[in-house]
Chain A
Amino acid sequence: MAKDIVAVIGAAQTKFKTHYADKTYIELAQDAAKLAMDEAGVTPDEIDAVVFSMAPTQFMGVNDCDRWATSHVWGAGKPYMRIHAGGATGGSALQAGYVHIASGVYRTVLVVGADRVAETPDAQHILNLIWDRFYEHDFALNTVTMTALAAQRYMARYGATEEQFARVVVRGRKNAMGNPYAHLKGAITVDDVMNSPRVAYPYKRFDICPRSSGAAAVVLSNLDVAKQKCARPAFVNGVSAITHSVFMGDRMGVYSETEFADHDGEHIAAYEAYRQAGITDPASQIQVAELYDPFSTFQFPIVEGLGFCGRGRAAAISDEGGWDMVGGQVAVNPSGGTLCTNPIGVTGLVRIVDAANQIMGKAGQNQLPGVHNAVATAAGGSTQFFTVTMLGDDHVAPRTNV
Protein backbone atom coordinates (compact mmCIF):
# COMPACT_ATOMS: atom_id res chain seq x y z
CA MET A 1 0.00 0.00 0.00
CA ALA A 2 1.28 3.45 -0.89
CA LYS A 3 1.91 5.80 2.03
CA ASP A 4 2.46 9.14 0.36
CA ILE A 5 0.92 11.25 -2.37
CA VAL A 6 3.44 12.08 -5.12
CA ALA A 7 3.70 15.38 -7.02
CA VAL A 8 5.79 16.86 -9.81
CA ILE A 9 7.04 20.15 -8.37
CA GLY A 10 9.50 21.05 -11.13
CA ALA A 11 9.82 19.83 -14.73
CA ALA A 12 12.30 21.00 -17.34
CA GLN A 13 13.92 20.14 -20.64
CA THR A 14 16.67 21.52 -22.82
CA LYS A 15 16.20 22.39 -26.47
CA PHE A 16 16.45 19.32 -28.67
CA LYS A 17 18.46 19.18 -31.89
CA THR A 18 20.54 16.72 -33.89
CA HIS A 19 23.92 17.69 -32.45
CA TYR A 20 25.13 19.60 -29.40
CA ALA A 21 28.59 20.79 -30.40
CA ASP A 22 29.05 23.03 -27.35
CA LYS A 23 28.33 20.53 -24.55
CA THR A 24 29.20 16.98 -23.57
CA TYR A 25 26.60 14.39 -22.60
CA ILE A 26 27.01 14.96 -18.88
CA GLU A 27 26.81 18.72 -19.24
CA LEU A 28 23.48 18.32 -21.06
CA ALA A 29 22.12 16.14 -18.25
CA GLN A 30 23.37 18.70 -15.76
CA ASP A 31 21.54 21.50 -17.54
CA ALA A 32 18.22 19.66 -17.22
CA ALA A 33 18.87 18.80 -13.55
CA LYS A 34 19.64 22.43 -12.74
CA LEU A 35 16.62 23.74 -14.66
CA ALA A 36 14.22 21.31 -12.92
CA MET A 37 15.61 22.02 -9.44
CA ASP A 38 15.34 25.76 -10.11
CA GLU A 39 11.73 25.28 -11.24
CA ALA A 40 11.03 23.34 -8.04
CA GLY A 41 12.90 25.80 -5.85
CA VAL A 42 15.07 23.07 -4.35
CA THR A 43 18.81 22.74 -3.97
CA PRO A 44 20.77 19.50 -4.45
CA ASP A 45 20.89 19.15 -0.64
CA GLU A 46 17.11 18.77 -0.63
CA ILE A 47 17.13 15.88 -3.13
CA ASP A 48 17.01 12.54 -1.28
CA ALA A 49 17.66 10.23 -4.25
CA VAL A 50 18.33 10.36 -7.99
CA VAL A 51 16.87 8.17 -10.76
CA PHE A 52 18.78 8.34 -14.03
CA SER A 53 16.79 7.79 -17.23
CA MET A 54 18.86 6.20 -20.00
CA ALA A 55 18.11 3.61 -22.69
CA PRO A 56 20.80 1.89 -24.85
CA THR A 57 24.06 3.78 -24.52
CA GLN A 58 25.42 2.68 -27.91
CA PHE A 59 23.88 5.76 -29.57
CA MET A 60 25.91 8.20 -27.51
CA GLY A 61 28.85 5.82 -27.31
CA VAL A 62 29.89 5.65 -23.64
CA ASN A 63 28.87 2.36 -22.09
CA ASP A 64 26.61 2.78 -19.04
CA CYS A 65 26.97 6.55 -19.25
CA ASP A 66 24.78 7.00 -16.14
CA ARG A 67 28.00 6.39 -14.17
CA TRP A 68 29.66 9.26 -16.03
CA ALA A 69 26.84 11.60 -15.06
CA THR A 70 26.53 10.88 -11.32
CA SER A 71 28.22 13.98 -9.91
CA HIS A 72 27.08 16.25 -12.74
CA VAL A 73 23.43 15.64 -11.79
CA TRP A 74 24.31 16.01 -8.10
CA GLY A 75 23.78 12.30 -7.50
CA ALA A 76 27.11 11.59 -5.82
CA GLY A 77 26.60 10.87 -2.12
CA LYS A 78 22.95 9.88 -2.64
CA PRO A 79 21.03 6.73 -3.52
CA TYR A 80 21.26 6.55 -7.32
CA MET A 81 19.89 4.14 -9.91
CA ARG A 82 19.57 3.95 -13.67
CA ILE A 83 16.36 2.80 -15.32
CA HIS A 84 16.44 1.24 -18.80
CA ALA A 85 13.32 -0.03 -20.57
CA GLY A 86 14.19 0.89 -24.16
CA GLY A 87 11.92 3.59 -25.51
CA ALA A 88 9.77 3.33 -22.38
CA THR A 89 12.76 4.31 -20.23
CA GLY A 90 11.60 7.82 -19.35
CA GLY A 91 8.14 6.61 -18.34
CA SER A 92 9.66 3.81 -16.26
CA ALA A 93 12.19 6.16 -14.64
CA LEU A 94 9.38 8.51 -13.58
CA GLN A 95 7.51 5.53 -12.15
CA ALA A 96 10.60 4.38 -10.23
CA GLY A 97 10.82 7.87 -8.74
CA TYR A 98 7.13 7.67 -7.92
CA VAL A 99 7.62 4.44 -6.00
CA HIS A 100 10.55 5.95 -4.09
CA ILE A 101 8.18 8.57 -2.70
CA ALA A 102 4.87 6.69 -2.59
CA SER A 103 6.58 4.09 -0.40
CA GLY A 104 7.39 6.77 2.15
CA VAL A 105 11.12 6.05 1.88
CA TYR A 106 12.09 9.40 0.30
CA ARG A 107 10.57 12.88 0.31
CA THR A 108 12.15 14.38 -2.80
CA VAL A 109 13.56 12.62 -5.87
CA LEU A 110 15.25 13.94 -9.00
CA VAL A 111 14.52 11.97 -12.18
CA VAL A 112 16.94 13.08 -14.89
CA GLY A 113 18.56 11.91 -18.09
CA ALA A 114 19.98 12.89 -21.45
CA ASP A 115 20.56 11.33 -24.83
CA ARG A 116 22.53 12.04 -27.99
CA VAL A 117 21.01 9.66 -30.50
CA ALA A 118 22.91 11.11 -33.48
CA GLU A 119 26.38 10.71 -31.99
CA THR A 120 26.56 7.55 -34.14
CA PRO A 121 25.47 7.93 -37.77
CA ASP A 122 22.87 5.11 -37.99
CA ALA A 123 20.60 4.53 -34.98
CA GLN A 124 18.77 1.69 -36.74
CA HIS A 125 21.93 -0.39 -36.91
CA ILE A 126 22.14 -0.13 -33.10
CA LEU A 127 18.44 -0.92 -32.73
CA ASN A 128 18.76 -4.07 -34.86
CA LEU A 129 21.15 -5.39 -32.19
CA ILE A 130 18.30 -5.76 -29.65
CA TRP A 131 17.04 -8.89 -31.48
CA ASP A 132 18.32 -12.36 -30.61
CA ARG A 133 20.89 -13.96 -32.90
CA PHE A 134 19.03 -17.25 -33.26
CA TYR A 135 15.67 -16.40 -34.77
CA GLU A 136 15.07 -12.70 -35.47
CA HIS A 137 18.22 -10.59 -35.80
CA ASP A 138 18.92 -11.64 -39.41
CA PHE A 139 15.71 -10.18 -40.79
CA ALA A 140 16.52 -6.49 -40.60
CA LEU A 141 14.26 -5.80 -37.65
CA ASN A 142 14.74 -2.38 -36.11
CA THR A 143 12.33 0.20 -34.75
CA VAL A 144 11.45 1.43 -38.23
CA THR A 145 10.68 -1.99 -39.67
CA MET A 146 8.99 -3.44 -36.58
CA THR A 147 6.57 -0.54 -36.35
CA ALA A 148 6.03 -0.51 -40.12
CA LEU A 149 4.88 -4.13 -39.70
CA ALA A 150 2.42 -3.08 -36.99
CA ALA A 151 1.20 -0.17 -39.12
CA GLN A 152 0.62 -2.39 -42.16
CA ARG A 153 -1.44 -4.70 -39.97
CA TYR A 154 -3.38 -1.75 -38.50
CA MET A 155 -4.16 -0.47 -42.03
CA ALA A 156 -5.46 -3.88 -43.05
CA ARG A 157 -7.67 -4.15 -39.95
CA TYR A 158 -9.16 -0.67 -39.97
CA GLY A 159 -8.61 0.85 -43.42
CA ALA A 160 -6.41 3.75 -42.30
CA THR A 161 -4.48 5.33 -45.20
CA GLU A 162 -1.04 6.79 -45.70
CA GLU A 163 -2.66 10.22 -46.19
CA GLN A 164 -4.37 9.94 -42.80
CA PHE A 165 -1.01 9.17 -41.17
CA ALA A 166 0.47 12.15 -43.06
CA ARG A 167 -2.07 14.47 -41.40
CA VAL A 168 -0.69 13.41 -38.02
CA VAL A 169 2.76 14.61 -39.11
CA VAL A 170 1.38 17.93 -40.37
CA ARG A 171 -0.46 18.49 -37.06
CA GLY A 172 2.57 17.53 -34.96
CA ARG A 173 4.98 19.82 -36.79
CA LYS A 174 2.44 22.67 -36.52
CA ASN A 175 1.95 22.15 -32.77
CA ALA A 176 5.74 22.04 -32.32
CA MET A 177 6.02 25.59 -33.68
CA GLY A 178 4.77 26.78 -30.29
CA ASN A 179 7.24 24.57 -28.39
CA PRO A 180 10.68 26.20 -28.08
CA TYR A 181 12.27 22.86 -27.15
CA ALA A 182 10.99 20.79 -30.12
CA HIS A 183 13.45 19.46 -32.69
CA LEU A 184 11.38 19.36 -35.91
CA LYS A 185 8.68 21.97 -36.46
CA GLY A 186 7.09 24.03 -39.20
CA ALA A 187 4.25 24.34 -41.66
CA ILE A 188 4.27 21.33 -43.98
CA THR A 189 1.58 19.72 -46.12
CA VAL A 190 0.24 16.21 -46.61
CA ASP A 191 1.92 16.27 -50.02
CA ASP A 192 5.26 17.08 -48.40
CA VAL A 193 4.92 13.93 -46.29
CA MET A 194 3.65 11.78 -49.16
CA ASN A 195 6.47 12.97 -51.45
CA SER A 196 9.29 12.39 -48.96
CA PRO A 197 11.41 9.32 -49.81
CA ARG A 198 9.94 5.91 -48.99
CA VAL A 199 11.72 4.08 -46.15
CA ALA A 200 9.65 1.04 -45.10
CA TYR A 201 6.02 0.69 -46.20
CA PRO A 202 3.92 2.59 -45.21
CA TYR A 203 6.61 5.00 -43.96
CA LYS A 204 8.09 7.88 -45.82
CA ARG A 205 10.89 9.88 -44.24
CA PHE A 206 8.51 12.47 -42.74
CA ASP A 207 6.50 9.74 -41.00
CA ILE A 208 9.57 9.05 -38.85
CA CYS A 209 10.94 10.93 -35.82
CA PRO A 210 14.33 12.65 -35.84
CA ARG A 211 17.38 11.46 -33.87
CA SER A 212 17.49 14.06 -31.10
CA SER A 213 20.00 15.22 -28.54
CA GLY A 214 19.02 16.93 -25.31
CA ALA A 215 18.00 16.34 -21.71
CA ALA A 216 15.02 16.39 -19.36
CA ALA A 217 14.43 16.27 -15.62
CA VAL A 218 11.59 16.18 -13.11
CA VAL A 219 11.62 16.85 -9.37
CA LEU A 220 9.12 14.67 -7.52
CA SER A 221 8.11 15.19 -3.91
CA ASN A 222 5.63 14.04 -1.30
CA LEU A 223 2.62 16.17 -0.39
CA ASP A 224 4.29 17.97 2.52
CA VAL A 225 7.20 19.17 0.39
CA ALA A 226 4.88 20.03 -2.49
CA LYS A 227 2.80 22.27 -0.21
CA GLN A 228 5.92 24.16 0.82
CA LYS A 229 7.49 24.47 -2.62
CA CYS A 230 4.83 24.63 -5.29
CA ALA A 231 1.61 26.63 -5.68
CA ARG A 232 0.27 24.34 -8.42
CA PRO A 233 1.97 20.95 -8.54
CA ALA A 234 1.09 18.20 -10.99
CA PHE A 235 0.04 15.23 -8.89
CA VAL A 236 1.02 11.77 -10.09
CA ASN A 237 -2.35 10.10 -9.66
CA GLY A 238 -1.83 6.89 -11.60
CA VAL A 239 1.14 4.87 -12.81
CA SER A 240 1.02 1.62 -14.69
CA ALA A 241 3.30 -0.48 -16.87
CA ILE A 242 2.73 -3.61 -18.91
CA THR A 243 5.32 -5.81 -20.55
CA HIS A 244 4.77 -8.19 -23.48
CA SER A 245 6.75 -11.19 -24.70
CA VAL A 246 9.74 -10.14 -26.79
CA PHE A 247 8.34 -12.07 -29.75
CA MET A 248 6.06 -9.87 -31.84
CA GLY A 249 4.87 -13.00 -33.66
CA ASP A 250 3.17 -14.11 -30.43
CA ARG A 251 0.93 -11.05 -30.61
CA MET A 252 -0.78 -11.64 -33.94
CA GLY A 253 -3.20 -14.22 -35.19
CA VAL A 254 -6.05 -16.19 -33.74
CA TYR A 255 -4.11 -17.68 -30.81
CA SER A 256 -2.84 -14.34 -29.52
CA GLU A 257 -4.15 -12.81 -26.31
CA THR A 258 -3.04 -9.33 -27.36
CA GLU A 259 -3.09 -7.53 -30.71
CA PHE A 260 0.15 -6.27 -32.23
CA ALA A 261 -1.59 -3.73 -34.47
CA ASP A 262 -3.42 -2.13 -31.54
CA HIS A 263 -0.39 -1.52 -29.26
CA ASP A 264 -2.79 -2.89 -26.70
CA GLY A 265 -0.27 -2.99 -23.87
CA GLU A 266 -0.95 0.74 -23.76
CA HIS A 267 -4.66 0.03 -23.33
CA ILE A 268 -4.08 -2.38 -20.44
CA ALA A 269 -1.70 0.04 -18.73
CA ALA A 270 -4.03 3.00 -19.30
CA TYR A 271 -7.04 1.45 -17.62
CA GLU A 272 -5.01 0.50 -14.55
CA ALA A 273 -3.66 4.07 -14.34
CA TYR A 274 -7.21 5.40 -14.81
CA ARG A 275 -8.47 3.16 -12.01
CA GLN A 276 -5.90 4.62 -9.64
CA ALA A 277 -6.62 8.17 -10.77
CA GLY A 278 -10.41 7.86 -10.65
CA ILE A 279 -10.80 8.36 -14.41
CA THR A 280 -13.96 6.70 -15.65
CA ASP A 281 -14.60 8.63 -18.89
CA PRO A 282 -11.17 9.43 -20.34
CA ALA A 283 -12.36 11.42 -23.37
CA SER A 284 -14.22 13.90 -21.17
CA GLN A 285 -11.97 13.91 -18.09
CA ILE A 286 -8.54 14.15 -19.78
CA GLN A 287 -7.69 17.40 -21.55
CA VAL A 288 -4.11 16.70 -22.71
CA ALA A 289 -2.41 13.54 -23.96
CA GLU A 290 1.35 13.43 -24.49
CA LEU A 291 1.96 10.26 -26.48
CA TYR A 292 5.12 8.34 -27.22
CA ASP A 293 4.59 8.33 -30.99
CA PRO A 294 7.94 8.21 -32.83
CA PHE A 295 6.10 7.21 -36.01
CA SER A 296 3.02 8.79 -37.57
CA THR A 297 1.19 5.48 -37.30
CA PHE A 298 1.33 5.26 -33.49
CA GLN A 299 -1.20 7.96 -32.74
CA PHE A 300 -4.37 6.19 -33.89
CA PRO A 301 -3.94 2.87 -32.05
CA ILE A 302 -2.76 4.69 -28.92
CA VAL A 303 -5.62 7.19 -28.66
CA GLU A 304 -7.98 4.26 -29.23
CA GLY A 305 -6.21 2.28 -26.50
CA LEU A 306 -6.45 5.25 -24.16
CA GLY A 307 -10.22 5.06 -24.63
CA PHE A 308 -10.64 8.41 -26.38
CA CYS A 309 -12.60 6.63 -29.13
CA GLY A 310 -13.44 3.12 -30.32
CA ARG A 311 -11.01 0.83 -32.16
CA GLY A 312 -10.56 1.89 -35.77
CA ARG A 313 -12.19 5.31 -35.25
CA ALA A 314 -9.15 7.51 -34.57
CA ALA A 315 -8.17 8.19 -38.19
CA ALA A 316 -11.58 9.55 -39.15
CA ILE A 317 -11.71 11.66 -35.98
CA SER A 318 -8.21 12.94 -36.81
CA ASP A 319 -9.41 14.01 -40.26
CA GLU A 320 -12.17 16.02 -38.55
CA GLY A 321 -9.73 17.76 -36.18
CA GLY A 322 -10.70 15.74 -33.12
CA TRP A 323 -7.10 15.50 -31.86
CA ASP A 324 -6.21 19.13 -32.59
CA MET A 325 -4.53 21.20 -29.89
CA VAL A 326 -7.28 23.80 -30.12
CA GLY A 327 -10.83 22.67 -30.78
CA GLY A 328 -10.21 18.94 -30.51
CA GLN A 329 -11.98 16.65 -28.04
CA VAL A 330 -8.57 15.87 -26.48
CA ALA A 331 -5.43 17.91 -27.22
CA VAL A 332 -3.08 15.20 -28.48
CA ASN A 333 0.60 16.10 -28.32
CA PRO A 334 0.35 19.89 -27.98
CA SER A 335 4.16 19.75 -27.73
CA GLY A 336 4.43 18.20 -31.19
CA GLY A 337 5.12 14.84 -29.58
CA THR A 338 7.77 12.24 -30.16
CA LEU A 339 7.32 12.46 -33.93
CA CYS A 340 9.01 15.88 -33.71
CA THR A 341 11.54 15.14 -30.94
CA ASN A 342 13.01 11.78 -29.98
CA PRO A 343 15.95 11.69 -27.55
CA ILE A 344 15.26 8.01 -26.86
CA GLY A 345 16.65 7.71 -23.31
CA VAL A 346 14.55 10.62 -22.04
CA THR A 347 11.63 10.76 -24.50
CA GLY A 348 9.20 9.24 -22.00
CA LEU A 349 10.38 11.80 -19.46
CA VAL A 350 9.84 14.64 -21.94
CA ARG A 351 6.25 13.43 -22.27
CA ILE A 352 5.93 13.76 -18.46
CA VAL A 353 7.56 17.21 -18.51
CA ASP A 354 5.20 18.47 -21.23
CA ALA A 355 2.11 16.95 -19.57
CA ALA A 356 3.09 18.21 -16.09
CA ASN A 357 3.78 21.72 -17.35
CA GLN A 358 0.29 21.81 -18.92
CA ILE A 359 -1.15 20.97 -15.47
CA MET A 360 1.14 23.46 -13.73
CA GLY A 361 0.33 26.29 -16.17
CA LYS A 362 3.92 26.43 -17.40
CA ALA A 363 3.54 25.25 -21.01
CA GLY A 364 4.29 28.68 -22.48
CA GLN A 365 2.85 29.53 -25.89
CA ASN A 366 1.13 26.13 -26.12
CA GLN A 367 -0.49 26.37 -22.68
CA LEU A 368 -4.09 25.22 -22.86
CA PRO A 369 -6.83 26.54 -20.54
CA GLY A 370 -8.54 24.33 -17.98
CA VAL A 371 -6.12 21.39 -17.92
CA HIS A 372 -7.10 19.25 -14.93
CA ASN A 373 -5.91 15.83 -16.09
CA ALA A 374 -3.13 14.89 -18.51
CA VAL A 375 -1.91 11.48 -19.59
CA ALA A 376 1.65 10.63 -20.68
CA THR A 377 2.69 7.38 -22.37
CA ALA A 378 5.91 5.64 -23.30
CA ALA A 379 6.69 2.48 -25.26
CA GLY A 380 9.85 0.50 -25.84
CA GLY A 381 11.57 -2.73 -26.81
CA SER A 382 9.93 -4.74 -29.57
CA THR A 383 6.66 -2.82 -28.99
CA GLN A 384 6.99 -4.59 -25.70
CA PHE A 385 7.19 -2.16 -22.76
CA PHE A 386 4.30 0.23 -22.20
CA THR A 387 3.88 2.84 -19.46
CA VAL A 388 0.99 5.17 -18.75
CA THR A 389 1.18 7.98 -16.19
CA MET A 390 -1.79 10.08 -15.07
CA LEU A 391 -1.15 13.61 -13.86
CA GLY A 392 -3.76 15.85 -12.25
CA ASP A 393 -4.17 19.26 -10.67
CA ASP A 394 -5.69 17.68 -7.58
CA HIS A 395 -4.54 14.55 -5.80
CA VAL A 396 -6.42 11.36 -5.20
CA ALA A 397 -5.97 9.15 -2.13
CA PRO A 398 -2.78 7.07 -2.08
CA ARG A 399 -3.29 3.93 -4.14
CA THR A 400 -4.51 0.91 -2.27
CA ASN A 401 -2.63 -1.82 -4.08
CA VAL A 402 0.48 -2.04 -6.19
Chain B
Amino acid sequence: MSAAAAIDDVIHGEWHVRYNYSVGKVAGHFFEGLKQKKILASFAPSSGIAYLPPRAYCERSFEPCDGWVEAGHQGIIEAATIVTAAFENLPPPPYAIAYVRLDNVSTALVNFVRGLDLSDVPAAASKLKPGTKVKVVFKDTPEGRITDFHYELAE
Protein backbone atom coordinates (compact mmCIF):
# COMPACT_ATOMS: atom_id res chain seq x y z
CA MET B 1 0.00 0.00 0.00
CA SER B 2 1.33 3.42 -0.92
CA ALA B 3 1.52 6.21 1.64
CA ALA B 4 -1.07 8.22 -0.32
CA ALA B 5 -3.57 5.35 -0.18
CA ALA B 6 -3.00 4.91 3.55
CA ILE B 7 -4.07 8.53 4.23
CA ASP B 8 -7.55 7.84 2.84
CA ASP B 9 -8.00 4.64 4.80
CA VAL B 10 -10.76 4.41 7.41
CA ILE B 11 -11.48 1.85 10.11
CA HIS B 12 -15.15 0.91 10.45
CA GLY B 13 -16.84 0.69 13.84
CA GLU B 14 -20.35 0.33 15.30
CA TRP B 15 -21.77 0.58 18.84
CA HIS B 16 -24.56 -1.72 19.97
CA VAL B 17 -25.68 -0.96 23.53
CA ARG B 18 -28.85 -2.25 25.24
CA TYR B 19 -30.64 -0.61 28.19
CA ASN B 20 -33.56 -1.26 30.56
CA TYR B 21 -34.84 2.06 31.93
CA SER B 22 -36.54 1.92 35.34
CA VAL B 23 -39.85 3.76 35.15
CA GLY B 24 -40.29 4.76 38.80
CA LYS B 25 -43.43 5.79 40.70
CA VAL B 26 -44.33 9.01 38.93
CA ALA B 27 -44.00 7.79 35.35
CA GLY B 28 -45.46 4.45 36.44
CA HIS B 29 -48.65 6.15 37.63
CA PHE B 30 -48.80 8.13 34.40
CA PHE B 31 -48.41 4.98 32.30
CA GLU B 32 -51.10 3.17 34.31
CA GLY B 33 -53.39 6.10 33.51
CA LEU B 34 -52.65 5.75 29.80
CA LYS B 35 -53.87 2.15 29.95
CA GLN B 36 -57.25 3.61 31.02
CA LYS B 37 -57.01 6.23 28.21
CA LYS B 38 -56.35 8.91 30.84
CA ILE B 39 -53.52 11.47 30.58
CA LEU B 40 -52.59 12.29 34.17
CA ALA B 41 -50.72 15.48 35.04
CA SER B 42 -48.96 15.87 38.38
CA PHE B 43 -50.35 18.79 40.34
CA ALA B 44 -48.62 21.04 42.85
CA PRO B 45 -51.23 22.65 45.17
CA SER B 46 -48.56 25.09 46.40
CA SER B 47 -48.17 26.72 42.97
CA GLY B 48 -51.30 25.61 41.16
CA ILE B 49 -49.21 24.20 38.31
CA ALA B 50 -50.25 20.96 36.59
CA TYR B 51 -47.24 19.36 34.90
CA LEU B 52 -46.96 17.21 31.80
CA PRO B 53 -44.69 15.31 31.70
CA PRO B 54 -45.48 14.65 35.39
CA ARG B 55 -42.89 15.53 38.06
CA ALA B 56 -42.34 14.48 41.64
CA TYR B 57 -41.63 18.07 42.72
CA CYS B 58 -42.85 21.44 41.54
CA GLU B 59 -39.93 23.29 39.94
CA ARG B 60 -41.32 26.69 41.00
CA SER B 61 -42.41 26.15 44.60
CA PHE B 62 -39.99 23.28 45.38
CA GLU B 63 -42.92 21.55 47.09
CA PRO B 64 -44.05 18.02 46.22
CA CYS B 65 -46.52 17.52 43.38
CA ASP B 66 -48.79 15.47 45.62
CA GLY B 67 -51.90 15.61 43.47
CA TRP B 68 -52.97 14.43 40.03
CA VAL B 69 -55.36 16.03 37.57
CA GLU B 70 -56.74 14.44 34.43
CA ALA B 71 -55.85 16.34 31.28
CA GLY B 72 -58.64 17.14 28.89
CA HIS B 73 -58.61 15.37 25.55
CA GLN B 74 -58.53 18.71 23.78
CA GLY B 75 -55.86 21.38 23.77
CA ILE B 76 -54.06 23.99 21.73
CA ILE B 77 -50.87 23.83 19.71
CA GLU B 78 -48.02 25.87 21.19
CA ALA B 79 -45.42 24.91 18.52
CA ALA B 80 -45.39 22.54 15.55
CA THR B 81 -43.22 21.40 12.66
CA ILE B 82 -43.53 19.12 9.64
CA VAL B 83 -40.58 16.85 8.93
CA THR B 84 -39.94 15.95 5.30
CA ALA B 85 -36.38 14.57 5.49
CA ALA B 86 -35.37 11.07 6.55
CA PHE B 87 -33.13 10.68 9.61
CA GLU B 88 -31.50 7.41 10.61
CA ASN B 89 -33.56 5.46 13.20
CA LEU B 90 -36.38 8.03 13.11
CA PRO B 91 -39.81 7.61 11.47
CA PRO B 92 -40.07 7.74 7.68
CA PRO B 93 -41.15 11.22 6.55
CA PRO B 94 -43.40 13.07 6.27
CA TYR B 95 -44.75 13.54 9.78
CA ALA B 96 -45.91 16.43 11.96
CA ILE B 97 -44.85 17.03 15.57
CA ALA B 98 -46.48 19.46 17.99
CA TYR B 99 -46.24 20.65 21.55
CA VAL B 100 -49.82 20.87 22.81
CA ARG B 101 -51.14 22.35 26.03
CA LEU B 102 -54.05 20.14 26.98
CA ASP B 103 -57.05 21.44 28.90
CA ASN B 104 -56.43 21.54 32.69
CA VAL B 105 -52.63 21.42 32.21
CA SER B 106 -50.09 24.24 32.58
CA THR B 107 -47.33 22.89 30.32
CA ALA B 108 -47.19 21.51 26.78
CA LEU B 109 -46.60 17.87 25.83
CA VAL B 110 -45.07 16.73 22.54
CA ASN B 111 -46.62 14.12 20.24
CA PHE B 112 -47.30 13.48 16.58
CA VAL B 113 -50.17 15.21 14.78
CA ARG B 114 -51.77 12.69 12.45
CA GLY B 115 -54.53 12.78 9.87
CA LEU B 116 -53.29 15.90 8.09
CA ASP B 117 -52.32 16.03 4.40
CA LEU B 118 -48.61 16.93 4.48
CA SER B 119 -47.95 16.89 0.74
CA ASP B 120 -47.88 20.70 0.56
CA VAL B 121 -45.69 21.69 3.53
CA PRO B 122 -46.44 25.43 3.78
CA ALA B 123 -50.18 24.71 3.36
CA ALA B 124 -50.07 22.05 6.07
CA ALA B 125 -47.97 24.31 8.32
CA SER B 126 -50.62 27.02 8.06
CA LYS B 127 -53.04 24.58 9.74
CA LEU B 128 -50.71 23.95 12.68
CA LYS B 129 -50.16 27.50 13.93
CA PRO B 130 -49.90 28.13 17.67
CA GLY B 131 -53.39 28.49 19.09
CA THR B 132 -54.89 25.80 16.82
CA LYS B 133 -57.24 23.40 18.62
CA VAL B 134 -56.38 19.71 18.57
CA LYS B 135 -57.84 16.57 20.14
CA VAL B 136 -56.27 13.48 21.67
CA VAL B 137 -56.85 10.18 19.87
CA PHE B 138 -56.00 6.98 21.74
CA LYS B 139 -55.17 3.57 20.32
CA ASP B 140 -57.91 0.99 20.75
CA THR B 141 -55.75 -1.05 23.13
CA PRO B 142 -53.30 1.18 24.99
CA GLU B 143 -50.15 -0.44 26.38
CA GLY B 144 -49.16 2.11 28.99
CA ARG B 145 -46.69 3.96 26.77
CA ILE B 146 -46.53 7.60 25.62
CA THR B 147 -47.11 6.33 22.07
CA ASP B 148 -50.62 5.16 23.08
CA PHE B 149 -52.09 8.40 21.77
CA HIS B 150 -51.50 11.15 19.25
CA TYR B 151 -53.04 14.47 18.31
CA GLU B 152 -55.40 15.33 15.45
CA LEU B 153 -56.90 18.65 14.42
CA ALA B 154 -60.09 19.23 16.42
CA GLU B 155 -62.15 20.49 13.50
Contact = CB atoms under 8 A, between A and B. Distances in A.
Answer yes or no: are A and B bound together in one complex.
Answer: yes
Interface of A: 21-22, 58, 61, 121-122, 124-125, 128, 133-136, 138-142, 144-145, 148-150, 152-153, 156-157, 197-202, 245, 247-250, 252-253, 255-257, 260-261
Given A134-B21, A247-B107, A252-B108, 14 more contacts: A134-B27, A139-B111, A140-B90, A144-B87, A198-B84, A198-B85, A201-B84, A245-B59, A248-B79, A248-B108, A249-B52, A249-B99, A256-B107, A257-B60
Interface in B57-91: 59-60, 78-85, 87-91
B31 to A, nearest CB: 8
Interface string B123-140: 011001111000000000
| Nearest 4 Cβ contacts at the A-B interface | A249-B108, A122-B88, A255-B106, A148-B81
A139 B110 contact: yes
Interface residues of B, number: 49
Nearest to A58: B15
A200 B81 contact: yes
A249 B109 contact: yes
B54 to A, nearest CB: 9
B53 interface: yes
Nearest to A261: B79
B1 interface: no
Contacts of B81: 145, 148-149, 152, 200-201
B82 A200 contact: yes
A140 B89 CA distance: 9
Interface in B10-51: 13, 15, 19, 21, 23, 27, 49, 51
A252 B21 contact: no
A226 B74 CA distance: 61
Nearest to B94: A198
Given A152-B80, A252-B99, A125 B107 contact: no
B153 interface: no
A116 B42 CA distance: 41
Nearest to B13: A61
